[in-house]
Structure 1
Amino acid sequence: MLNSTPVTHFVLGAYMDIGLLKYPVFVFLLLWYAAILLSNLLLIAVISQSRSLHEPMFVFMCALFVNEVYGSTAIFPMLLSQILHEAHVITRAACLLQIFCVYSYGGTEVNMLTLMSYDRYLAICCPLQYSSSMTPTKMAALITLCWSYSLILNLFITYGLTGRLKPCGNVIDKVYCDNFWVVRLSCSDTTADKIFGLVNGLCRLLCVITLILYSYGRILRVCLSSSKRARQTALGTCVPHLLSILNFSCGGLFEVMQSWFDMSAVSTPLRVFLSLHWLTVQPLASPVIYGLKMTKIRQAVLEKNSARDLVCCVFPPS
C-alpha cells in the first residue's frame, strides 16, 4: 500500500539500545574524530610548510588528507549527535546532504588513490619524463578533475535522481543515510536510478582496477630488473599507497555487498562496524600509514622548527 503522506524524516534503524554505554561510546568516537582531524591537519600543515615536500607525490597526499577531513566530517558529527538521542531521526534534506557528502568523499578517495598509482608509475617507470609530465599546472588540473568529477557526479545522483523519488517508507536500516536505502524505500519508478548506478559503478570499477593493476604491474616489472637499493626505494613509496588502497577496498567492498545482497545473517554490531569502516577507519589510517612509512614526512615532522611552525599553523595564536 502506498503511503500518501509525504516523508519528511527518516529513522535510522541500526542504532541499538546500549543504555549507559552510549556515553563511553560517545567519548571514544569523539576522541577518534579528534585524532582524525589532528593527524590529517598536521600532515597537511607539514607538507604545506616544508619546501622539501613540494613534490607531486606529497601534493597528492595533501589532497588525500583534505578529503579524509571532508569525509570524516560528513559522518562523525551526525554519529555523535545520534548516539546521545533516544529517537534516531534525520530530516530528508539532511539525509540527502549526508548522502552527497559521504559518496562524494568515497568517489574522490577512489580518484585520488588511482591518481597516486599513476604518479608512482610515472616516477618509477618513466623517470626521465616525470618532471615534464607532472608540472604544477598538470598537478592542479588532475587534483581539480578528481574532486570536480566526484562532486558533479554525486550532485546529479543525489539531487537529480534520488532527490526526485517519493519515499513510501522512512526506516533506513543503517546508522547513516545511504543512497541505496532511500532508493529502496521509494514507491516511484527507480529503473533509471538502478541502470545508471549499475553502469556507472561497473565502468568506474573497471577503469580503476585496470589502471591500478597496470601501474603496479609495470612497477613490479621494473623493480625485478633493478638493483636492491632501487627496489627498496620504490617499495618505500609504494607500500603505504598499497596499504591505503587495500584498507579502503575492504571497507568499500562490504558496503557494495551490503547494498546488493541480503546481509541479515551478519550480526547487527558487526554489520554496523563494517559499514562504517570506510568512513571512520580510512580517514585515520591514511595519515598514520603515510606518516609512519614515508621517511621525508617523518623527518619533516621531527624537525624542531617545522614542529613549532606546524603548531602555529594548525592552532594560530589569538
Structure 2
Amino acid sequence: MQKIGNSSESVSFVLAAYGNVGAFKYPYFIIILFWYVSICVANTVLIVVIHVDRRLHEPMYILLSNLCVNEINASTSLYPFLLSQMFSDSHEVTLPWCFLQMCCMYTSASAEFCSLAAMAYDRYIAICHPFSYNVIMNTERVVMLILLVWIFSFVSLLLSFSFIFGLRFCGNIIDNVYCDHQLIIRLSCSVPIQSSISMIFFTLLSIFMPFNLISISYLKILRVCRKTSTENKQKAVTTCTPQIVSVSNLFVGCIFHSIDFSLLAAQIPEEVRIILPMYLLICQPMLTPFMYGFNLPKIRQACKMLLFKRK
C-alpha cells in the first residue's frame, strides 16, 4: 500500500471490492469484455447506418448519432478500467486517474440528459411547428446544439467537482470496483461543504434542468397530439416512445446511484451493492441502440439495407 502524503496528488487509492473476486476473475473478465464489445458494436453500427444512409441525414438522426457516441464514451469510462483491474494484484489507482474516470462518467451522464433534451426539443418542433421545422432545425443549428451539449456538460462538471484536487485524504480504501465520487469524499480528512453543494449544483444543472425541458416539450407534444388524427398520434408515439423509455431508465439508474447501499449492507448481498450503482452504465448504453434501432422504422429499414443488401 502506498503511503499517503500531504499532497493529494501522491495518494493511491485501493479498490477493496476486487479482493472478493478470487477465482471468478476469469468468468467476470469474459462477461465484462463481451458486454463492452457488444455495446461498442451496437452503437457503432447505428452511427455508421446514419452516416451512410443519406435519408437519415436529418436533425433527429444526427442527434441520435451523437447519443450513440456518448454511450460509447460512457462505457469506455468504466469497462476498460474494470478489465485492467481484474488481474491487478494491488488494485491501486492514483487520484488523477480516479478524477479522470469520474470526469468521463459525470460528463457522459450530463451529456446523456442534455442530448435527450435536445432530441425532445427536436420532436417538439417537428410535431408542434412542422412548417417551421426546416428553418429552425437546420444542419448548422443542430451541430451548434451538439457542441453546446458537450461544452455545457464539461463546464458543469468542472464547476461541480474540481475542488477534489485540493483535498487531503486520511484514508485510501474504496469499497467499490471503480472510483466513486461519494466514497472518495468520505476519505478526505475533513468533509468540505463543497461536497454537498457540488452534488446539488451538478444535479440541478445536469439532471433537473434538462428533465424540465424534456417534460415541457412532451407536455406540449401531448397537447397537440390530442387534437390531431389517429395516424399522426401513432407517428408521434413511434418517434417519442424510445426517448421516454430512455429518460425513465436514466432516472431509475440515478436512484440506484444515489442510494447509500453501505447502510443496507446486512440486507443486500455485496454483488448487488456493487452492480446497482453501475446500472446506468450497464443497461443504458445497450438500451439506446436497440430501442431506436428496432422501434424507428427508418432506422430499422436502413439497418436491413446495410447489413443484408445484395451485391
With the length of structure 2 as denominator, give the TM-score of the two structures: 0.91
User: Which shifted more, 112-121 or 10-19?
Assistant: 10-19
Shift of 1:254: 1.3
**Which blocks of at least 5 consecutive residues in structure 1 are unaligned?**
310-318
SS in 2 for 1:177: coil
SS in 1 for 2:93: strand
What is the rounded CA distance, in whole Å, between the counterparts of 2:181 and 2:28 in structure 1?
A: 26
Count of aligned positions: 303
Out of 59, 66, 81, the position equivalent to 2:84 is 81
The 1:275–1:109 alpha-carbon spacing in structure 2 relative to 1, beyond 3 Å, is same
Match of 1:272 in 2: 274
1:145 aligns with 2:148: yes
CA contact (8 A) 1:71 1:102 kept: yes
SS in 1 for 2:155: helix
Shift of 1:276: 1.1
Match of 2:22 in 1: 19
User: Which shifted more, 180-189 or 112-121?
Assistant: 180-189
Q: Given residue 26 of structure 1, which amino acid in structure 2 is its aligned partner?
A: F
What is the rounded CA distance, in whole Å, between the counterparts of 1:41 and 1:226 in structure 2?
A: 36
Out of 173, 176, 192, the position equivalent to 1:174 is 176
Shift of 1:152: 2.3
Q: Deviations over 1:258-317 (max 9, x none)?
A: 39x8443433211211111111211111111111111111111111xx3389xxxxxxxx
Match of 2:123 in 1: 120
Match of 1:313 in 2: none
Shift of 1:89: 1.7
What is the rounded CA distance, in whole Å, between the counterparts of 1:4 and 1:11 in structure 2?
A: 12
Query: Any residues of structure 2 matched to 1:66-77 within 5 Å, and which?
Result: 66-77=69-80
CA contact (8 A) 1:166 1:187 kept: yes
Match of 2:291 in 1: 289
Q: Name the Cα RMSD after superposition.
A: 2.1
Q: Given residue 135 of structure 1, which amino acid in structure 2 is its aligned partner?
A: N
Q: Deviations over 1:219-274 (max 9, x none)?
A: 12222222111111111101111111112221122112339x84434332112111
User: Which shifted more, 20-29 or 41-50?
Assistant: 20-29
Q: Which of structure 1's runs of 4+ aligned residues deviate more than 4 A?
A: none
Q: Deviations over 1:185-225 (max 9, x none)?
A: 11246113322332342354432232222111111222222
Q: Deviations over 1:100-132 (max 9, x none)?
A: 111111111111111111111111111112111
Match of 2:99 in 1: 96
SS in 2 for 1:226: coil
What is the rounded CA distance, in whole Å, between the counterparts of 1:192 and 1:84 in structure 2?
A: 35
What is the rounded CA distance, in whole Å, between the counterparts of 1:220 and 1:283 in structure 2?
A: 27
Q: Given residue 223 of structure 2, which amino acid in structure 1 is its aligned partner?
A: R
Q: Given residue 58 of structure 2, which amino acid in structure 1 is its aligned partner?
A: E
Q: Deviations over 1:54-93 (max 9, x none)?
A: 0111000000000111111110011112222343221222
Match of 2:53 in 1: 50
CA contact (8 A) 2:238 2:296 kept: yes
User: Which shifted more, 99-108 or 7-16?
Assistant: 7-16
What is the rounded CA distance, in whole Å, between the counterparts of 1:97 and 1:170 in structure 2?
A: 17
What is the rounded CA distance, in whole Å, between the counterparts of 1:154 and 1:161 in structure 2?
A: 11
The 1:61–1:263 alpha-carbon spacing in structure 2 relative to 1, beyond 3 Å, is farther
Match of 2:108 in 1: 105
What is the rounded CA distance, in whole Å, between the counterparts of 2:206 and 2:304 in structure 1?
A: 39
Match of 2:138 in 1: 135
SS in 2 for 1:137: helix
1:28 aligns with 2:31: yes
Shift of 1:32: 0.6
The 1:235–1:4 alpha-carbon spacing in structure 2 relative to 1, beyond 3 Å, is closer
User: Which shifted more, 88-97 or 103-112?
Assistant: 88-97
**Which blocks of at least 5 consecutive residues in structure 2 are unaligned?**
none
Identity among equivalent positions (%) equals 37
CA contact (8 A) 2:17 2:176 kept: yes
Match of 1:5 in 2: 5
CA contact (8 A) 2:39 2:285 kept: yes
CA contact (8 A) 1:162 1:179 kept: no
What is the rounded CA distance, in whole Å, between the counterparts of 2:259 and 2:61 in structure 1?
A: 33
CA contact (8 A) 2:5 2:11 kept: no
